[in-house]
Copies of this chain bind each other. A is one copy, B any other.
Amino acid sequence: MKGKASIAFENPPCILGTGCVVGKKEGEGPLGDRFDFVSEDPLFGKNNWEEAESAIQSQAAELALEHAGLTKEDIRYCFAGDLLGQLIATSFGLMNLQIPLFGLYGACSTMGESLNLGSMTVAAGYAPYVMCLASSHFASAEKQFRFPLEYGNQRPSCASWTVTGAGAVILGRGGDGIKITGITTGKIVDLGIKDSMNMGAAMAPAAADLIMQNLIDFDITPDYYDWIFTGDLGTVGQKALIDLLKEEGVSIEGFHRDCGIEIFDAEKQDTHAGGSGCGCSAAVLCSYILPMMQSGKWKRILFVPTGALLSPVSFNEGQSVPGIAHGVMLEKM
């Protein structure tokens, strides 16, 4: 334990392999040549969007196993989730793995939640290897949360674009690559924002709270990290986050990046505020953050996937959009 909401691991788990699968639009973005697999077919050969998302998860899991040089029988637990009601992308995507499964829902923060629990499990000696995984699909998310694609509805400029993608990470006890040296687990933060099309603003308070907690718990300043990477705040949420932390006397300007801003070229790709979804932070982690660390360019990253805790029902009932964020400290030894 460390501070109020963090753990510093005595035996930090190591990242042994990753897998990353995305859709065509993501493949056309600035990180396009970094992903393990880019599908030209948004349905990934399946019959509907949900099955397509399951297929992405399954493929990302297989790639991660392959890259780690392991088989599914080696993995003790899987920590996974997605954005859909009752996690059906996960249930149908990971069924064939036949690995004991902890289904997680942290909205777009799910990759953070899974890495929190996965690293706790490995560091405690409960498992030699675990898999952490999250996915989203633009079309299954639009169908779940907003309008049928066929409506062709207009989106406000503060809206984000749900990433079609999945990232899977294998954690293990041995190895000398990138380690998870600590975690900070987030609580729900609600400043009463009710605009479900402005999720960046809804999630920024939770990200600010998590980052402050991490800095306090470990008694560090933002320059401890090469970068603090939030999940999917986008350009609107980034501004809110920087302002909120400034009010607390902390400046992260020059130390902050956002997976949602990195994954698309907003202007050329018409993605407005940036990418979002569980798959956004998961894919950027596997394709960009970890390889940059592996190459020695970055030594320390605070990875902070951010989630907006709304559902179509809660939104229609006039509820606010609370946020949550989970922090993962990545260090290249």
Give the chain B neighbours of A144 by CB distance below 8 A: 85, 313
Give the chain B neighbours of A187 by CB distance below 8 A: 97-101
Whether A126 contacts B124 by the Cβ 8 Å rule is yes
Chain B nearest CB from A205 CB (Å) reads 12
Stretch at the interface among A57-65, A113-121, A157-165: A113-121
The answer to whether A190 has its CB under 8 Å from any CB of chain B is yes
The answer to whether A180 has its CB under 8 Å from any CB of chain B is no
Known: A1-B76, A104-B102, A117-B117. A86 touches B309 (CB 8 A): yes
Q: Count the copies.
A: 2
Whether B105 contacts A311 by the Cβ 8 Å rule is no
**CA of A87 to CA of B143 in the docked complex: distance in angstroms?**
18
The answer to whether A135 has its CB under 8 Å from any CB of chain B is no
Known: A76-B1, A187-B101, A188-B101. A86 touches B113 (CB 8 A): no
The answer to whether A322 has its CB under 8 Å from any CB of chain B is yes
Whether A314 contacts B95 by the Cβ 8 Å rule is no
Chain B nearest CB from A133 CB (Å) reads 14
The answer to whether A269 has its CB under 8 Å from any CB of chain B is no
Whether A105 contacts B107 by the Cβ 8 Å rule is no
Whether A310 contacts B86 by the Cβ 8 Å rule is yes
Which residues 221-266 in A have Cβ within 8 Å of B in the complex? none
Known: A50-B313, A86-B311, A310-B86. A127 touches B1 (CB 8 A): yes
Whether A84 contacts B50 by the Cβ 8 Å rule is no
Chain B nearest CB from A276 CB (Å) reads 14
**CA of A210 to CA of B88 in the docked complex: distance in angstroms?**
21
Interface residues on A, range: 35 or more
The answer to whether A13 has its CB under 8 Å from any CB of chain B is no
Interface string of A78-108 (1 = CB under 8 A from B): 0001011111100110110111111111110
The answer to whether A71 has its CB under 8 Å from any CB of chain B is no
Return the contact of A186 from the options B100, B105, B311 (Cβ within 8 A): B100
Closest to A78 in B: B187
Known: A105-B87, A113-B103. A317 touches B126 (CB 8 A): no
Known: A117-B117, A126-B7, A188-B94. A311 touches B100 (CB 8 A): no
Chain B nearest CB from A193 CB (Å) reads 14
The answer to whether A271 has its CB under 8 Å from any CB of chain B is no
Interface string of A117-145 (1 = CB under 8 A from B): 10011011111000000000000000110
Whether B124 contacts A322 by the Cβ 8 Å rule is no
Known: A85-B311, A100-B187, A104-B102. A92 touches B50 (CB 8 A): no
12 contacts between A and B (CB under 8 A): A1-B127, A47-B317, A48-B317, A50-B313, A84-B85, A86-B311, A98-B188, A102-B185, A103-B104, A103-B105, A117-B117, A120-B120
